[in-house]
Amino acid sequence: MAARKKALARLLRPLARENGGPRAGGESDALEVIWQVVCSIPRGRVSTYGAVARAAGLPGHARQAGFALRVAPEDLNLPWHRVVGAGGRIVFPNGSREHKEQARRLRAEGVPVKAGRVAAAAMTELDEL
């Protein structure tokens, strides 16, 4: 995990310079913290957008966690598939390319997925890490 955090920091430095540093209101700082939290989710486990936001110090901002994943540079190689909606639900429309890809990636890590939901046993609260 330490290696992934170092790699994340290394990738974020040029992005900050390219975008003129942190945006007003610390938006890029919040995105970076969310990305770090997502990187801390262990392989074979999942967490919710709300839990990611809380662990990033942004309680009540589950949508911001989703936004952060959507705008993350591909170079970060974030394990985005380990983040699901409340109740363990894959939030992408059933049958969509994204839904299928998330389910495939989760199953490849040993996470049971049935009817668009992950098994409760795979859920982790990030404050437990």
Domains and their CATH numbers in the chain: 2-128 (1.10.10.10)
pLDDT exceeds 70 at position 59: yes
* pLDDT surpasses 50 at 16: no
CA angle 83, 89, 94 (to 5 degrees): 110
Residue 11 predicted with pLDDT over 80: no
- The pLDDT of 106-125, averaged and rounded, is 95
For 102, list phi and psi in degrees, rounded to 5: -65, -45
Write down the pLDDT at residue 126: 86
- Cβ atoms 88, 118 nearer than 8 A: yes
In tens, the pLDDT along 18-37 reads: 444 444 445 688 999 999 99
Mean pLDDT of the chain: 85
**Contact partners, residue 30, CB within 8 Å, separation at least 6:** 56, 58, 64, 68
Q: Is the pLDDT of residue 128 over 60?
A: no
Q: Is the pTM higher than 0.85? A: no
